[in-house]
Structure 1
Amino acid sequence: MEWMLMPYQRYFDFSGRSRRKEYWMFVLLSVIVSMISLALMFAGGLQGEMADGSAPGATFWLGVAILSIWGLGSIIPSIAVQVRRFHDQDRSGWMILLGFIPYVGGLIVLVFMCLEGTRGANRYGADPKDPSGASVFA
């Protein structure tokens, strides 16, 4: 759970590096919250349809509220953790803009998020896997 919440602890921190584990655990938490919200929305929508078909139930609006608050609260941390992932690979954080290329941009960013970071320190900071910089076989 610590890895899932780390981007929120570093809410507006666009400097430094982040491990793949931090990024993917944050994505997993986002998917879990989204699925729960969508399940609530689906359950509330069915409830409204079963009654008289006029309006969705309160559960639907609870799901909408949770999803909206979560989405708005997660915009900045999701951008920041992606920038730090690019920094871990010794690339500029501006590469996040590749996601705006139609059709293939999201795929390109996905591939970069899956790549391992550079070993040792780079221009963006110390290695998050080995912050002391100690080498076992030096």
Structure 2
Amino acid sequence: MNHLYNGFAKTFDFSGRASRMELFIFGLLFCALLAVAVVIDLSNDWFDPETGIGGATAFLIVAMFMSNLSLSVRRLHDINLSGWFVLVGLIPIVGPLAQISLLFLPGTDGVNDYGPAPH
């Protein structure tokens, strides 16, 4: 539960490090909420076939954007990379693969350039 709390409590904190588990738990929550948002959109005819997104889904994505961004930056810090590498996520095909790789790459042991190891 602490991992989930950190994901939201540190929404505007781009310093320090985040563990793989923190990113994983946050990702699971996001996927679960996204599934609920899609069901809400489809059941209320809020789904727009032209854009491929509905109102509840769009709201969720916007609401969780900053938390996801800061968590991704802190996860990059855990593997001793600059937070600017989060921009790789914008590259088609490569970006999503880079984001997924953050779940599997181990963090650096002990203290690195961005602080002590996350607990």
TM-score range, shorter chain: 0.7 to 0.9
Unaligned runs of 5+ in 2: 47-53
1:31 and 2:31 are equivalent in the alignment: yes
* 1:75-107 alpha-carbon deviations (Å, 9 max, x no partner): 111110000000000111111111122222221
Residue 116 of structure 2 is aligned to residue 126 of structure 1: yes
Q: TM-score, normalised by structure 1?
A: 0.72
5 Å-filtered alignment, 1:1-138, equals 1-45=1-45, 64-129=54-119
Taking CA–CA contacts closer than 8 Å with sequence separation of 6 or more, which of the two structures ends up with the larger relative contact order?
A: 2
How many residues align? The count is 112
* Contact 1:87/1:93 (8 A) holds in 2: yes
Q: CA RMSD in A?
A: 1.7
Shift of 1:70: 2.4
Q: TM-score, normalised by structure 2?
A: 0.83
Letter of the 1:100 partner, please give it: L
The list of structure 1 runs, each at least 4 consecutive aligned residues, that deviate by more than 4 angstroms after superposition, is none
